[in-house]
Amino acid sequence: MFHETLDSFPKDFLWGAASAAYQIEGAFDADGKGPSIWDEFTKIPGKTFEGTNGDVAIDHYHRYKEDVKLMADMGLKAYRFSVSWSRILPEGEGVVNEAGLQFYEDLVDELIKNGVEPVLTLYHWDLPLALQEKYNGWESRETIKAFKQYCELLFERLGKKVTYWVTFNEQNVFTSMGYRWESHPPNVSDTKRLFEANHIINLANAEAINLFKEMVPEGKIGPSFGYGPVYPLTSDPSDVLAAENAHDFNNAWWLDIYCKGKYPVTTFKRLKRMGIAPTVLPEDEELLKSAKPDFLGINYYHGGTVKQNKLENPTENEETNKQFSSTDPYLMQPKDEQSQSPEVPMFQSTENPSLEKTDWGWEIDPVGFRVALRQVFARYDLPLFVTENGLGALDELTKEEEIHDDYRIAYLENHISEMKKSISDGVDMIGYCAWSFTDLLSWLNGYKKRYGFVYVNRTETDEKDMKRIPKKSFYWYKELIENNGKNIN
């Protein structure tokens, strides 16, 4: 849709930036903190780039006042951070670590003092290790009870100070990476366990929302989802159908539960036929339908492109091996192995020939951002809060201690422009949190993959002085905030 002029951003639009506890805090065992599953996972040889971990990270735990001062200098309106569950409850449940609670209250107070709206994420992937060992983590309903205790502590302590709360960050990512691809903890490759654990997390999300509505009636809460629009490779109706299947599998499977309290029929039927659907009890259905988020957090980096599934439309190589020879890994799998790939009969992913990529192979698609916001708002009719969007790049520090990240500015400007167009289209937007405020530990990619507005002087092998150095993008975003995106076209 073409607009001759674009609507302005709302006057109270929350221009922000984001982070996650494990990626920035460090102080992994300080002041009574217990270990998380990431503290253990990153010590497994070969799991992270050059063996990097978050033991020290960028030492935000000890330098939070310095970091908040930089936020104030930038004019940041909001800062989204996550709480480390095991810093509050070292065993995941039971005895409370007051020092951990005090740290987050001090952080919130410092943000408010500096005019920055705190946006608190309850779970950003770092489950207490004790719960993984005692209950098998998210595969047990006992973990829901522990999560409710954790939430209750934070709602009671910070409910009057924090308005915006995120329940789970990118549930679609941490469940798939952790229970299917063995690239996140708990380091499992079992699709049945993936869908069972995911269902229990859905129940925990619902319990947290309902508890929040009781304890913090003036606040706003919702999950944060890693959303990507799905394009058909061609106008062939079979590719269009594949895109519909992929959307159902990759997006609606989570968003329908959050917003409608039920799983999408098509994907659930597919999983049930394959024997890998989650166990849904009657009381689960009642709980899921009772929990209504106030907003949806959207993390956007890219979408995906698909074509008709390879069973109905084999590729050229597969056509020559249509007798199902061993060169076809999907068609030759035993039934139990084939069940590990439920998308195979639904669609197959492919590259989008129209898009460029980042240094890490992620497609760059600003228009897809507008598509995503339009789609989610139209389907679920909830205000949207962009909780992540950013560019990971190989930033270089000059001899003058400057970082000329014009490529990041271009990336963000193009995406923010499409967000402004979506507002002009009628999408109800709360705010935008770029990923990330400072450079941080990029989970599996160490410190080489930098996202921040602020450079942190350290490498994978050398902590150096961890000096904070604002990048060129810092000053660009500062100006954008000052004029409320007026110069974005």
Residue spans per domain, the chain: 14-270+280-309+349-482, 310-345
Confidence check: pLDDT of 334 > 90? no
Q: Are strands 454-456 and 468-470 parallel, antiparallel or unpaired?
A: antiparallel
- Contact 105/116 with Cβ under 8 angstroms? no
pLDDT value at residue 1: 87
Token couple for 361: 């192979």
Q: In the 8-state DSSP scheme, what is residue 261?
A: S
Alpha-carbon gap, residue 350 to 307, rounded angstroms: 7
Confidence check: pLDDT of 335 > 70? no
Tokens 């009057």 belong to residue? 160
Q: Is 136 helix (H, G, I), strand (E, B) or coil?
A: coil
pLDDT band at 99 (very low <50, low <70, confident <90, very high): very high
Alpha-carbon gap, residue 175 to 315, rounded angstroms: 30
Task: Taking the CA atoms of 367, 370, 374 and 375 in sequence, report the sign of the dihedral they define.
Answer: positive
Share the mean pLDDT of the chain: 94
pLDDT value at residue 216: 98
pLDDT band at 464 (very low <50, low <70, confident <90, very high): very high
Nearest to 78 by CA among 382, 476, 387, 440: 387
Query: What is the per-residue pLDDT across 126-148, written as a single tens digit (0 to 9) for each?
Result: 999 999 999 999 999 999 999 99
Confidence check: pLDDT of 322 > 50? no
By CB atoms closer than 10 A (0-12, 13-18, 19+), residue 335 is exposed
Confidence check: pLDDT of 330 > 70? no
Query: What is the per-residue pLDDT across 207-265, written as a single tens digit (0 to 9) for each?
Result: 999 999 999 999 999 999 999 999 999 999 999 999 999 999 999 999 999 999 999 99
Confidence check: pLDDT of 340 > 80? no
pTM of structure? 0.94
Alpha-carbon gap, residue 353 to 331, rounded angstroms: 27
Q: Identify the CATH assignment for 14-270+280-309+349-482 out of 3.40.50.280, 3.40.50.720, 3.20.20.80, 3.30.360.10.
A: 3.20.20.80
How many residues belong to the chain?
489
Alpha-carbon gap, residue 489 to 8, rounded angstroms: 10
pLDDT band at 403 (very low <50, low <70, confident <90, very high): very high
Q: Give me the percent of the chain exceeding a pLDDT of 70.
A: 95
Q: Which residues are catalytic?
A: 388
Classify 227 in phi/psi space as left (phi over 0), alpha (psi -120 to 50) or beta.
Answer: beta
Confidence check: pLDDT of 299 > 80? yes
Measured between alpha carbons, how far is residue 378 from residues 8, 154, 253 in Å?
21, 32, 17
303-313 as b/e, with b when 16 or more CB fall inside 10 Å? bbbbbbbbeee
- How many CB atoms lie under 10 A from the CB of residue 404? 13
CA atoms within 13 A of residue 125's CA, in its CB half-sphere: 30
pLDDT value at residue 337: 45
Nearest to 452 by CA among 373, 386, 397: 397
Confidence check: pLDDT of 179 > 50? yes
